Amino acid sequence: MEKVLSGKIVAQSIFDRISRINLYNTIPTMALLSVCPSPASDFYIRNINRQGAKLGFAVKEFNLNEYTSLEDFIELIKTLNADKAYHGILIQKPFPVHISEDAVNLAVSPTKDIDGIHPENLGRIFLNLEGLFPSTAIAVMEVIKYYNIQTHGKHVVIIGRSPIVAKPLAGFLLQKNNHGNATVTITHSQSDNLETISSTADIIISAIGKPEFVTATFIKKDAVCIDVGINQIYRNGKQSYVGDFDYNSCFDKALAITPVPGGVGSVTTAVLFENLVKATLRQLDDKNC
């Protein structure tokens, strides 16, 4: 296995897979909603627009503002759910305080939910049923599959417990299949002895958004380190991005490690478009029934 697990190669393999799919002359179309601009979200939106254009897919932005009421927001989602011109809906965070994330997640039609945030889709992961699942959690699984990282019987420690990354990932890794069958431990900000627990892991996945939090003392020799965190930092007057792992201190001890940038983040956008394709094909199927 390569020491540096590049996400760019994995992303390219997904884009290649997408390009071979017969879309029956339909242009997959995404509605991309945002309420509050943020540097991280602006970066992600630019990336989505660029990749969408490369694939020949359509991305239509709906830029609301921080004064948009919850009612108007939900009304727009309902309109997009019913509009056959849109195959997938992606809603960018952050939200202003008066916008309930739960209400938004519940409003998106599960069949257009390309970010996998609807409870129905999240529940399907744990029952091993077909559905649309969170892109970042799938992206981690794509890295595991591409580099043939053995999970069967292995101890995987996930640091973080968010519903969009850590929990769905635990669901995937517990499934009875070639890339599951792992013993999964979820740790979080209230876990005692985190360092002791993580240093027993064969695979450590961190998704907490804390720059360089996971140092060499958190990992055992020859552990596989998968970094989901993308953290903006300022060092020596310069802005850059680092992960949750202290890459330099973990590098020698790890069997393999994903870089930031160029790791899981690169794969996430590719998975998002694969989700859009899945949603599109399913809607075409439903129309033909």
* Least Cβ distance, residue 236 to ligand NAD (angstroms): 22
- Residues in the site for ligand NAD, rule: CB under 6 A? 136, 139, 159-162, 164-165, 187-189, 194, 207-210, 228-231, 264-265, 268
SS3 157: strand
Q: Given the complex with ligand NAD, which of 133 and 283 has the nearer CB atom?
A: 133
Q: Which residue type, as a one-letter code, is found at position 250?
A: C
* Least Cβ distance, residue 230 to ligand NAD (angstroms): 4
SS3 164: coil
Beta bridge partners of 186: 158
Q: Is the peptide bond before 168 cis (omega within 30 degrees of 0)?
A: no
* Least Cβ distance, residue 133 to ligand NAD (angstroms): 13
**134 Cβ neighbours under 8 A, 6+ residues apart:** 115, 116, 117, 122, 164, 165, 168
* Least Cβ distance, residue 161 to ligand NAD (angstroms): 4
Give me the long-range contacts of 215-220 (CB less than 8 A, separation at least 24).
Answer: 215/246, 215/249, 215/250, 216/246, 216/249, 216/250, 216/252, 216/253, 218/194, 218/250, 219/250, 219/253, 219/254, 220/253
Q: Which residue type, as a one-letter code, is found at position 70?
A: L
* Least Cβ distance, residue 191 to ligand NAD (angstroms): 6
Q: Given the complex with ligand NAD, which of 89 and 260 has the nearer CB atom?
A: 260
Q: Given the complex with ligand NAD, which of 26 and 209 has the nearer CB atom?
A: 209
Q: Given the complex with ligand NAD, which of 242 and 283 has the nearer CB atom?
A: 242
Beta bridge partners of 32: 61, 90
Cα angle 113, 114, 115 (rounded to 5 degrees) comes to 90
* Least Cβ distance, residue 169 to ligand NAD (angstroms): 10
User: What is the rounded CA–CA span in Å between residue 193 and residue 190?
Assistant: 10
Q: Given the complex with ligand NAD, which of 213 and 281 has the nearer CB atom?
A: 213
Q: Given the complex with ligand NAD, which of 110 and 243 has the nearer CB atom?
A: 243
